Chain A
Amino acid sequence: MVLIVNTTSDRSITEELKKQIDEKKIDAEIVETDSMKISPCIGCNYCWLKTPGECSIRDDYEIILKKITRAGQLWVISGTALGFLDHKGKNIFDRILPIATMYLKFVGDQMRHVPRYDTRTDIGIIYTGDPEREYLEEWTRRAALNFESSSLGVYAKDEIKEAVSCMC
């Protein structure tokens, strides 16, 4: 399943995505977060050490987290600020920590958390605005390493066709 999380209030992006996804018969779910309550991660570590796999913040992110555990791809549509994802987009990634466990191991030459679930979720970004694209591409590749997955790339909102070509 392809999970698409739109953290912007721009529905034209998801409308266009839906059209192309339907045409290609891609199994996808779209979550619009503009009316949802999603707080930032507070680094309490409860999801690792007190309530394993569950976030202590009881808000609408739980809906997304449950879907991520069975999604082969996560696409985050995000606004940008200060050359990077804006805080709404970044919060989606910061709050993803419950899919990892506290346990550690080496993957290649670097430490990683042992994943909690068998599903590996590749990640892609569709952005509005004007980020430092080269950095955003590098960041997405690094972020994916944390989930033992791969980057699907970084696409501007007018590159939806290219993004959809990576969805399956």
Chain B
Amino acid sequence: MHVLIINGSPRIKALSNTDKILEKFTEGLREGGVTFEQYEVSDRKQWDAIRNAFSENRNILIALPLYVECIPGLLLEFLETVPPKTDDTKISFLLQSGFAEGIQLRCGEKYLKILTEKLGCNYGGTLVKGDNFAIRFFEGAQRDKVTGPYTAMGREFASAGSFETEACRKFTGPEIFSAPMRLMIGLVFKTVSKKMFTKIAESWGCTKPLDYRPYQ
């Protein structure tokens, strides 16, 4: 099997969490004997090449971050330029987000089914997973802990040819957290997370509090 992979993140490849996820996911594809070609929507110079590849390939995977409950505006802009297909092409999606719960991604997932139909293609399912915000801030083993599990999903995709398997459904994790878990995570938000974000902000040269109001 050969797969066209489109990274639909608007963030440049070097900083793209979706790209870091794809690095691990494609390791699994390779292990499963699948070949692939990958393009980045964030680079407008690639758009002609992506359109050609979209037209020529019949097995497509679009990986994307959730932006305000749906697909990013830049990816939408690109897809608006793609002619619908009529050749039995299958599109599968890898949808990731910062928020951790599965429920946060369901509205976006629902649109991906509509989108597939509008593009004249068949739906190959969506691999849904949150809690990926910090990938760009992690390196080495810490990053691998977050992105590593995607290798098994690459193998799963290589074997099934879609994300419509029980293993892929389970990969999402909890739809919502239990009340005791929310209490605990809420405490982490108020303490550890605040400290971590402040530290990152300082390292980025931020000189204002993170709740600063520039327009009041």
B34 at the interface (CB under 8 A from A): no
A40–B67 Cα distance when bound, in Å, is: 11
A53–B87 Cα distance when bound, in Å, is: 46
A78–B95 Cα distance when bound, in Å, is: 25
A83–B185 Cα distance when bound, in Å, is: 37
A53 CB, nearest partner CB in chain B, Å:
4
B65 at the interface (CB under 8 A from A): yes
B79 CB, nearest partner CB in chain A, Å:
6
- Contact residues, B43-76 vs A (CB, 8 A): 65, 67-74, 76
Known contacts A93-B68, A139-B107: A110-B101 contact under CB 8 Å: yes
Known contacts A69-B216, A82-B119, A117-B216: A40-B69 contact under CB 8 Å: no
Number of interface residues of B (CB under 8 A): 56
A66–B29 Cα distance when bound, in Å, is: 46
Which residues of the other chain, B, contact A44 by a CB distance below 8 angstroms?
11, 15
Which residues of the other chain, A, contact B189 by a CB distance below 8 angstroms?
103-105
Pick from B77, B111, B177, B212: contact of A40, CB under 8 Å = B77
Known contacts A82-B118, A106-B186: A91-B213 contact under CB 8 Å: no
Are B72 and A40 closer than 8 Å at their CB atoms? Answer: yes
Interface SS majority for chain A? mixed
Pick from A42, A53, A103, A143: contact of B215, CB under 8 Å = A53
A1 at the interface (CB under 8 A from B): no
Which partner residue on chain B sits nearest A38 by CB separation?
B73
A166 at the interface (CB under 8 A from B): no
Known contacts A52-B214, A69-B216, A116-B211: A43-B65 contact under CB 8 Å: yes
A162 CB, nearest partner CB in chain B, Å:
24
Pick from A52, A86, A116: contact of B206, CB under 8 Å = A52
Are A50 and B206 closer than 8 Å at their CB atoms? Answer: yes
Which residues of the other chain, B, contact A43 by a CB distance below 8 angstroms?
9-11, 65, 67, 72
Which residues of the other chain, B, contact A117 by a CB distance below 8 angstroms?
213, 215-216
Which residues of the other chain, B, contact A50 by a CB distance below 8 angstroms?
201, 204-206
A53–B107 Cα distance when bound, in Å, is: 26
Which residues of the other chain, A, contact B115 by a CB distance below 8 angstroms?
82-84
Are B114 and A84 closer than 8 Å at their CB atoms? Answer: yes
B35 at the interface (CB under 8 A from A): no
Known contacts A49-B200, A102-B197: A139-B111 contact under CB 8 Å: yes
Pick from B76, B111, B182: contact of A86, CB under 8 Å = B76
Are A142 and B69 closer than 8 Å at their CB atoms? Answer: yes
Pick from A46, A54, A84: contact of B70, CB under 8 Å = A84
A42–B186 Cα distance when bound, in Å, is: 28
Known contacts A53-B214, A139-B111: A84-B206 contact under CB 8 Å: no
Which residues of the other chain, B, contact A49 by a CB distance below 8 angstroms?
197, 200-201, 204, 206, 210
B82 CB, nearest partner CB in chain A, Å:
9
- Contact residues, B173-196 vs A (CB, 8 A): 176-177, 179, 182, 185-186, 189, 193-194
Which residues of the other chain, B, contact A111 by a CB distance below 8 angstroms?
99-101, 104, 185
Question: Could you pull out 11 A-B pairs where Cβ atoms are within 8 angstroms?
Answer: A40-B77, A42-B12, A42-B42, A43-B67, A48-B197, A52-B209, A82-B76, A82-B114, A85-B76, A110-B104, A110-B176
